Amino acid sequence: MLKTGTAAHRRAMAWRLILYGALILAPLSMTAATGGFADQGTWRVAGRAAALIAFPMLMLQPVLSARFHWIERPVGLDRLLVFHRATGTTALFLALMHPVFLSLSFWGWGLITGMDLPWQLMVGKAALLVLLVYAAGALFHGLLRVPFQWWLRAHNAFAPVILAGAFVHSWAMDIEAAPVLMRVLWLGLLSAGIFSYLHLTVFQRLRARRRALAVTDVTRIADRVWGLRMEPRSGSAPFQHLPGQFMFVTLLRGRGLPAEEHPFTIASPPDAGGALEIAPKELGDYTSTVGETRPGDRAAVMGPYGRFSFLLRPERKRLVMVAGGIGITPIMSMLRYMRDREEDREVLLLYGNRTPSDIAFAEELAGMADGDGPPALKVVHVLSAAPEDWQGERGYIDGELLRRHGGDTGDTGFYVCGPPVMMAKVIRALRDMGVPAGRIHSERFSL
């Protein structure tokens, strides 16, 4: 994987953005070059232009979310999904403006309000309505307290409806009579969207289930936190990952237990003999059943993903790692890797929890901090609900605590993982301390 900040990494980022921009603008450029906007009023040109940009953006949405490694690796899946959401919102706005602009031309407002319209227009209106519902679910399902898996199933069900509706409407209204290159481009964009959708929802999931790992150990490692160890079956290729990356896991347990896909950070180092460890915390309906997992159950995994790894920025010999709750898992993977490889690094870990019983990997962290070998690890526990006999730090990880323990930040790399509110506060405090954004790394994973 390309090291962050290198010339090769910048080139990889640049050509992907250029390719995406070229595909988005290709229909508009092709129409303009062939005189497709000639002798048309301003509002009609604006309406057609909005559609000519919205269509490729919609068709490429499944490409951005299909977890293709060749797209994700230079970016990180968390940031790619942020881009996916931003471009989806932009596509929705353009799709809404398409009928509005056309209504301001010779079409009139009956284009929007009328229900007795040609079938091509009614297909377009139906697709736009589904897109509105789809986007509202994507943007507000958290606020509406819709269970994640319900939203995900609806998300997957609506996607092909939107792709098909947008294609049928645009093809029947305009593209069928367009030059052959435009028709080829339209069919190519549709094919890319359909293939990417099937790649994620069918092909990858079937492949993961065929190569499912076996659960070999289930251990409670903190209050409401479980350690699950999984190993590939005999003859299967070992799972390759960087310390700090995450994967999608579907526990196949039977016994009436849910088989839902969720992202979990890999807590084990890459050289753990092919075994993988995750540490889910009981936070919801699904994760509350993790403790019912038994050795012998299977786990379908997809990954690895993400760029939250110190190996992608190897020039920093001093690291400050800030973890909140179960955000310790990617940091644990990195610390274990440093220990096993005897990495000569100085590491400060600021680890925030509520009570002592919430501290995951407590004994292992203490052993690493007390050991003689590298890395040179210092662990500072911070408890927000500490008991009276607690001798360590109290409260929350903030700027004052970072200054007191962090020392000179001159050539230090910072890695932050935990609840979103904690991460935002820590990153803001680091920026206030003068730490450049390029030396602050975080995993902001959210679907």
pLDDT computed for residue 145 by the predictor? 66
pLDDT tens profile 217-250: 999 999 999 999 999 987 677 788 999 999 999 9
Query: Does 164 lie in the same domain as 262?
Result: no
Q: What angle do CA 328, 74, 441 make, to 5 degrees?
A: 35
Same domain? For 200 and 248 the reply is no
Alpha helices in 103-147 (DSSP H): 110-113, 119-140
Q: Output the six-digit token pair for 114.
A: 């009328």
Question: Is residue 422 very low, low, confident or very high in pLDDT (cuts 50, 70, 90)?
Answer: very high
Q: How confident is the model at residue 417 (pLDDT cuts 50, 70, 90)?
A: very high
- Same domain assignment for residues 258 and 385: no
CATH number, residue 256? 2.40.30.10
36 pLDDT more than 70: yes
pLDDT category at 409 given cuts 50, 70, 90 is: confident
- Is residue 124 located within the same domain as residue 81? yes
57 and 168 belong to one structural domain: yes
Q: Do both 253 and 314 map to the same domain?
A: no
The mean pLDDT value of the chain amounts to: 90
% of the chain with per-residue pLDDT over 70: 96
Does residue 83 sit within a domain? yes
Q: What is the average per-residue pLDDT within 407-434? A: 91
Which residue range(s) make up the domain with 320? Answer: 310-442
Based on the fold, state whether residues 100 and 220 are members of the same structural domain.
no
**Does the N-terminal peptide bond of residue 419 adopt cis geometry, omega within 30 degrees of 0?**
no
Burial 153-167 (b: 16+ CB within 10 A, else e): ebeeebbeebbebbb
CATH code for position 387: 3.40.50.80
Specify whether 299 is located in the same domain as 352. no
**Amino acid present at 356:** P
Last residue of a domain, one of 290, 305, 320: 305
The pLDDT tens digits of the residues spanning 339-362 come to: 999 988 999 999 999 999 999 999
Please indicate whether residue 411 or residue 242 has the higher confidence score (pLDDT): 242
Residues 269 and 136 in one domain: no
- My answer on whether 192 and 234 are in the same domain is no
Together in a domain, 271 and 339:
no
Q: Which residue is associated with the tokens 């274990």?
A: 336
Tally of structural domains, the chain: 3
Which helix H or strand E contains 369, and what residues bound it? helix 362-370
Lowest mean pLDDT among 124-133, 230-239, 416-425: 230-239
6: DSSP letter: S
Torsion angles phi and psi, residue 259, rounded to 5: -115, 80
Position 288 scores a pLDDT of 87
Tens digits of per-residue pLDDT, 69-128?
999 999 999 899 999 999 999 999 999 999 999 999 877 888 888 888 899 999 999 999
Q: Which helix (H) or strand (E) holds 189?
A: helix 180-198
Is residue 1 assigned to a domain? no
Residues 82 and 151 grouped into a single domain:
yes
Q: What is the pLDDT of residue 447?
A: 43
Q: Alpha-carbon distance 297 to 209, whole Å?
A: 12
- Give domain status of residue 411, yes or no: yes
CATH of the domain at 40: 1.20.120
Instruction: Using a pLDDT cut of 90, give the percent of the chain over it.
Output: 72
The domain boundary residue, chosen from 208, 237, 259: 208
Average pLDDT over residues 17-29: 97
388-406 residue pLDDT tens: 999 889 999 999 999 999 8
Would 75 be classed as within a structural domain? Answer: yes
